[in-house]
Amino acid sequence: MKSSARLDDIRIIVYFSGKILIGMSLIYWIPIFTSLVSGEYKVMFDFILSFGLILSVGAGFTLLGKAIKRPSWTHGMVTAAVSWIMAMILAAFPYWLSGHYLSYLDCMFDVMSGLTTTGLVMIQDLDHISNGLNMWRHLLTFVGGQGIVVLALAIFVDGTGGSYGFYVGEGKDERLFPSVTHTVSSIWRISLVYLVIGTALLWVAGIAIGLSPGRAFLHGLWVYMAAWSTGGFAPMSQSILYYHSALYELLTFLFFMVGSFNFALHSAVIRGNRKELFRNIETLSFGTTMMILSFIVGWALMKLKVYPGIGMLIRKGYYQLASAHTTTGFMTIYANQFANEWGNVGLVAMVVAMLIGGSACSTAGGFKGLRIGILFKAILQDTKRLLNPSSAISIEKFHYHGERTLADQQVRNAASIVLLYVVMFTAVVLATCAAGYPIMESIFEVASITGNVGLTIGVTSPSMPTILKYIYIFVMWAGRLEFMAILASIGFAASLFKRSRR
Amino acid sequence: MKSKLWFPLPLLIMLLAFQGEVFAQEQTMSIVKTSALKLIDNAKAYDGHQVEITGELIGDVMVRGDYAWISILNEGTAISAWIEKSMLPPDTSIGGYARSGDIVSLRGIFHRACPEHGGDLDIHATSLELVSKGASVNHPVNTSVVLISLTLLVIGVILVSAWRRRERNEQ
């Protein structure tokens, strides 16, 4: 009886994973169209083949599985985790067919890096890739920022009861509206409106800095998608340095800052509640940590005379710092310059920024400003309790879309997630050191991987040990889904194993 | 005796200083043939020096007034150069997916953090020499990929239809 119940669970998970893959297959038509318009017919067929593959697998899953009952919280969590792995395996196919990768593992690494909005790459000869493939890279990061489950929920609005579990499984827990379907469609609406505005601005800027109108449009679209999703992919290997433009840097800075904000905050501001921007615990937390870290990075770079003027310090130092703190990963310096020029104090500040990351329910990674704010408030409350008489009742409040009273459960949840991040970060730093990389470089790179940032100091490359590639893929996945879906999947797999042994 | 010993000292210092200046000038004036990766890895050592790198023109020529930004791909690493527009060869072939770019030999002054360009790592070109012309690159369509694509497409459509039919029947 129990084993048939487990089989039902598996069928539900397989069914909804299939639906998510079918939802994802629709985005393949964008690179197919791009290749067709660009006259890249070989690439076009690579994408048609990959589309056929994901559609067949997705539809096969929906046929093998069945929505026997309303999906529970666990089903949602496990489905999110499984569909991310399946998406990684299948979306790597166009990369593999392009011939720009040394192994299929490298292809999967880049897909996971894109979907999780990390931005580290294994691709070979990036400066010679087709428009179709560049579109695919940036599209993956744009869709991944919103979430592939969010995409599927937005498409299959009518057939997915109990969808909150899927939504939370993908690392988002903020309801913009009471209904999840209304929330996910709102997330997509916000993203698409910004996409049009952002692309238009970068298009004009691209023409102004000397790109041809066609190239300016494509670069504007791609760079915007990577900026908004705090992804960090760029069409050229030199990242944003390629453009040598203060205007382009300013626009990308604005877009990735905005992209790192909570979707609920966007929704509140759009609905006219601009005060929320200045009162919200997340923006206050982000502003505070950004200010402290700016001071440290500024001091470190000035002490080492890395940049001889304040203008340069702002354009180089603060741009990389903001890129790290928002978990974007755009660079206007070379990776090796971090290791050779920035010094340990500057690098440690960058590591802290990358680990903290942006806002909850945004495209950003890291611990998230909300949790840092909550933990800070908890420490403040505990300090007050120590100083006040034991009979005094200490109530701590914070503003997060309305006034809220700090509850122990919130503190516990925030502390658990931060602790999991720290444990994972420490373990992977040890693994990277064991693979032979220096300690400071290992810390920097692993912070970038854990926070889904994408800045690199040079550790991530096709020549790195294979085991480290697997570990980094896992870390990107776990960091993006914020552990809950992974833990639920491990629990689910363990329960299956336990029953099979009985 | 003491004064006699001290007498040549300032002269010696001046001579050493002068020698140092000559050495520094020679360092600046001599052209170092190098790679983009070596420049980036040893940016402090090469800062302000005349360098020469050879590689493929890639990406875009971004014209800014009388000058332009170009990118050169050297041994897998791209580096940018600020160049007078007039130095660029006519009918420049820029490397990308559909074309291989011109192979050029560029000489110029290397900047670790260019004060003129907001701290960018760049080379200010003093000369550009065309080594070989770029050409169009053919990417033929693979017939087996086309056949597999169409087969998978048909299978996918059949499976989706079967799934939709089952959904309708169950409703």
pLDDT digit string, tens, across residues B9-37 = 444 444 444 343 333 444 445 888 999 99
pTM: 0.90
Q: How many domains, chain A?
A: 1
B141 → closest Cβ in A42, A309, A311: A42
Smallest CA–CA separation between A295 and chain B, in Å? 19
Could you tell me which residue, A429 or A394, shows the higher pLDDT? Answer: A429
Model pLDDT, residue B73: 98
Mean pLDDT of A478-484: 86
Rounded to whole angstroms, how far apart are CA atoms A315 and A326?
16
Closest residue in A to B154 (Cα–Cα): A52
Smallest CA–CA separation between B21 and chain A, in Å? 23
Q: Is B162 part of any domain?
A: no
Whether residues B57 and B8 share a domain: the answer is no
CB A189 within 8 A of CB A292: no
Could you tell me which residue, A279 or A499, shows the higher pLDDT? Answer: A279
Q: Is A60 part of any domain?
A: yes
Q: How crowded is residue B162: how many other Cβ atoms within 10 Å of its Cβ? A: 14
Whether residues B143 and B88 share a domain: the answer is yes
CB A71 within 8 A of CB A165: yes
The answer to which of A47-61, A67-81, A158-172, A323-337 has the lowest mean pLDDT is: A158-172
Mean pLDDT of A51-62: 96
| Inter-chain touch B71–A48, beta carbons under 8 Å | no
Model pLDDT, residue B21: 38
User: Does A68 lie at the interface with B, CB-CB under 8 angstroms?
Assistant: no
Closest residue in B to A65 (Cα–Cα): B163
Rounded to whole angstroms, how far apart are CA atoms A126 and A46?
18
Whether residues B87 and B112 share a domain: the answer is yes
User: Does B68 lie at the interface with A, CB-CB under 8 angstroms?
Assistant: yes
Q: Where are the alpha helices (DSSP H) in A357-407?
A: 369-387
Q: Is B21 part of any domain?
A: yes
A246 → closest Cβ in B118, B142, B146: B118
The answer to which of A196-200, A436-440, A492-496, B70-74 has the lowest mean pLDDT is: A492-496
Whether residues B39 and B26 share a domain: the answer is no
Q: What SS3 class is residue B64?
A: strand
Could you tell me which residue, A179 or A97, shows the higher pLDDT? Answer: A97
Smallest CA–CA separation between A481 and chain B, in Å? 29
Provide the pLDDT confidence category of residue A70 given band limits of 50, 70 and 90.
confident
Q: Give chain B's count of helices (H) and strands (E).
A: 5, 6
User: Does A367 lie at the interface with B, CB-CB under 8 angstroms?
Assistant: no
Closest residue in B to A123 (Cα–Cα): B76
Smallest CA–CA separation between A311 and chain B, in Å? 7
Q: Is A498 part of any domain?
A: no
Is A486 exposed, middle or buried, given 0-12, 13-18 or 19+ CB atoms closer than 10 A?
A: buried
Helix (H) or strand (E) holding A282: helix A281-303
| Inter-chain touch A159–B167, beta carbons under 8 Å | yes
Whether residues B26 and B47 share a domain: the answer is no
Mean pLDDT of A2-31: 90
Whether residues B2 and B47 share a domain: the answer is no
Model pLDDT, residue A123: 97
Whether residues B70 and B129 share a domain: the answer is yes
Could you tell me which residue, B13 or A291, shows the higher pLDDT? Answer: A291
Q: Considering chain B, what is the average pLDDT of its residues?
A: 87
Q: Is A206 part of any domain?
A: no
Whether residues B45 and B58 share a domain: the answer is yes
Smallest CA–CA separation between B16 and chain A, in Å? 27
Whether residues B22 and B51 share a domain: the answer is no
CB A428 within 8 A of CB A473: no
Mean pLDDT of A78-93: 94
| Inter-chain touch A56–B62, beta carbons under 8 Å | no
Model pLDDT, residue A160: 52
Model pLDDT, residue B16: 44
Structural domain containing residue A39: 1-173
Whether residues B79 and B140 share a domain: the answer is yes
- Which of A56, A124, A215 to mutate to test binding with chain B, by most B CBs within 10 Å of its CB? A56
Query: What are the residues whose beta carbons fall under 8 Å from the beta carbon of A244, sequence distance 6 or more?
Result: A209, B62, B69, B80, B82, B117, B120, B122
Q: Is B167 part of any domain?
A: no
Question: B71 to chain A: which residues are within 8 Å by CB?
Answer: 127, 236, 238, 242
Q: Is B139 part of any domain?
A: yes
Whether residues B51 and B16 share a domain: the answer is no
| Inter-chain touch A59–B163, beta carbons under 8 Å | yes
B118 → closest Cβ in A62, A242, A312: A312
Q: Is B165 part of any domain?
A: no
- Token representation of residue B41: 């890895």
Q: How many domains, chain B?
A: 2
- Which of B137, B160, B161 to mutate to test binding with chain A, by most A CBs within 10 Å of its CB? B160
Model pLDDT, residue B135: 96
Structural domain containing residue B2: 1-30
Rounded to whole angstroms, how far apart are CA atoms A270 and A268?
5
User: Does A11 lie at the interface with B, CB-CB under 8 angstroms?
Assistant: no
Q: Is B60 part of any domain?
A: yes
User: Does B135 lie at the interface with A, CB-CB under 8 angstroms?
Assistant: no
Please check the confidence at residue A346 and state whether its pLDDT lies above 80: yes
Mean pLDDT of A389-410: 89
Please check the confidence at residue A154 and state whether its pLDDT lies above 80: no
Model pLDDT, residue A3: 65
Model pLDDT, residue A74: 86
| Inter-chain touch A56–B113, beta carbons under 8 Å | no
User: Does A10 lie at the interface with B, CB-CB under 8 angstroms?
Assistant: no
ipTM: 0.88
Q: Considering chain A, what is the average pLDDT of its residues?
A: 91
The CATH number of the domain where B119 resides is what? 2.40.50.140
Query: Residue-wise over A227-250: b if at least 16 C-beta within 10 A, else e?
Result: bbbbbbbbbbbbbbbbbbbeebbe
The answer to which of A213-222, A304-313, A488-497 has the lowest mean pLDDT is: A488-497
CB A297 within 8 A of CB A421: no
User: Does A341 lie at the interface with B, CB-CB under 8 angstroms?
Assistant: yes
Residues of chain B with pLDDT under 50: 1-28
Q: Is A339 part of any domain?
A: no
Model pLDDT, residue A335: 92
Question: A316 to chain B: which residues are within 8 Å by CB?
Answer: 113, 118-119
| Inter-chain touch A210–B152, beta carbons under 8 Å | no
Model pLDDT, residue A162: 63
Query: Residue-wise over B23-35: b if at least 16 C-beta within 10 A, else e?
Result: eeeeeeeeebebb
Q: Is A104 part of any domain?
A: yes
User: Does A55 lie at the interface with B, CB-CB under 8 angstroms?
Assistant: yes
Tell me whether strands A403-405 and B31-33 are parallel, antiparallel or unpaired. unpaired
Query: By percentage, how much of chain A surpasses pLDDT 90?
Result: 73
CA-CA distances (angstroms) from residue A445 to A106, A119, A442, A470? 17, 12, 5, 15
CA–centroid distance for B170 within its chain: 61
Question: B118 to chain A: which residues are within 8 Å by CB?
Answer: 246, 311-312, 315-316
Whether residues B39 and B84 share a domain: the answer is yes
The answer to which of A197-211, A212-226, A386-400 has the lowest mean pLDDT is: A386-400
Rounded to whole angstroms, how far apart are CA atoms A263 and A190?
8
CA dihedral A49, A54, A57, A60 (to 10 degrees): -100
